[in-house]
Chains A and B, each alone.
Chain A
């Protein structure tokens, strides 16, 4: 068991890793299907440890994404605040496939917010293929959930 003082560092470390995975360049053929790692990691911690990370934390993650991807301040922040806000503790009782459906809806809404702002601010044409990201993210949720839970148990973080 790790020192009780440091165990919570796992949360910012995984969030930072997810930020990195979100901005790393992908080969062209997966560009539209890239999973939203930030949503996966953020949603997990909001479900499992609401005492550590919530709506405000999600908003800050989005703000960092805005900074790193040159989007308007608030564009991703709003989307990620929505992701964090929809992680109701009751969802933990649902089977994994139902959680997948929830992730699909939330990630789609997140994409919709980001795309809508793009459309309003820069006149970017909205295309259906941008929502491939939401599908990949939802499909990856069970794997992310199981891995993250193991990580949480190993580092001795108590569920909130």
Chain B
């Protein structure tokens, strides 16, 4: 009988069909998200071992290296002073902003709510740069939410579970974020390349005013990210007289490799009031 013999080839073809079906289901519907969240428990021990060298070095530095702790303390003190100075200006600006928005009779812009989440998995393959967080729908995380580190923007929530979420980093090739150059306000986008520590700034014409060292901050266009957060710094500009666009490489300011915790930013800011409608609102 032909059917008595199940060869590896038969098994492979069965699994081929099954895999394709599984991929389609996983791509099209959220059915398997909870299975993924439950299964991701197996990542914990791996993540622990991966973080072990960095954690050990940090611990040794803090406890045994002479003077390191003192130097760190000094550096932090200096940073604190600078930050406090900035904060004063920020408070003044916030007060002014509140006054102005009251004048415009728009509702005061509520402060952005910040959630602290723990990184539970890091998956850095050449083409996917994603991390898993320990908070999900249960804690009010939503799809598209901005994820930042103190140094700058890290990425955006792209997958949701009940107690689990997945963040696509700005270095992921499927990710793009609207930015502007802080120096002159020129609007553009920053796109991932699939390489950690590098992003590209495409579609800038050869005449565009961009220099090495320029800081790129979120422009707030598209509504995904609140405006004004640092994203990347321009590293390299290649000018090619025959090409229509510049090739610009920038390095992201936030580095996930050694971060254990990230901030989730929820901007429940109301839609900005167009200039013409302010008067009508006051009546």
Binding site for B on A (CB under 8 A): 19-20, 23-25, 28, 31-32, 34, 54-56, 59, 64, 67-75, 77-78, 81-82, 84-85, 115, 117-118, 121-125, 130, 133
Interface pick from B126-134, B179-187, B233-241: B126-134
- Among B6-27, those with CB < 8 Å from A are 8-9, 11-12, 15-16, 18-23, 25-27
Instruction: Return 6 A-B CB contacts under 8 Å, by A number.
Output: A24-B50, A31-B126, A59-B15, A75-B19, A75-B23, A118-B127
Binding site for A on B (CB under 8 A): 8-9, 11-12, 15-16, 18-23, 25-27, 32, 35-36, 39-40, 42-43, 46, 49-50, 121-128, 130, 132, 159, 166, 173-174, 194-198, 257
Complex CA gap A67/B18 in Å reads 17
Supposing A23-B123, A56-B11, A85-B9 touch, asked if A70 and B20 sit within 8 A by C-beta, the answer is no
Complex CA gap A73/B50 in Å reads 24
Q: Which residue of chain B has the shortest Cβ distance to A32 in the bound complex?
A: B126
Q: Is the CB of B196 within 8 A of A67?
A: no
Supposing A28-B197, A31-B195 touch, asked if A81 and B15 sit within 8 A by C-beta, the answer is yes
Q: Is the CB of A23 within 8 A of B46?
A: yes
Contact count A vs B, C-beta below 8 Å: 109
Q: Which of B16, B32, B35, B40 has the most CB of A within 10 A?
A: B16
Q: Which residue of chain A has the shortest Cβ distance to B13 in the bound complex?
A: A85
Expressed in whole angstroms, the minimum distance between the Cβ of A106 and any Cβ of chain B is: 13
Give the chain B neighbours of A84 by CB distance below 8 A: 8
Complex CA gap A115/B173 in Å reads 12
Give the chain B neighbours of A32 by CB distance below 8 A: 126
Expressed in whole angstroms, the minimum distance between the Cβ of A51 and any Cβ of chain B is: 12
Q: Is the CB of A74 within 8 A of B12?
A: no
Q: Is the CB of B46 within 8 A of A73?
A: no
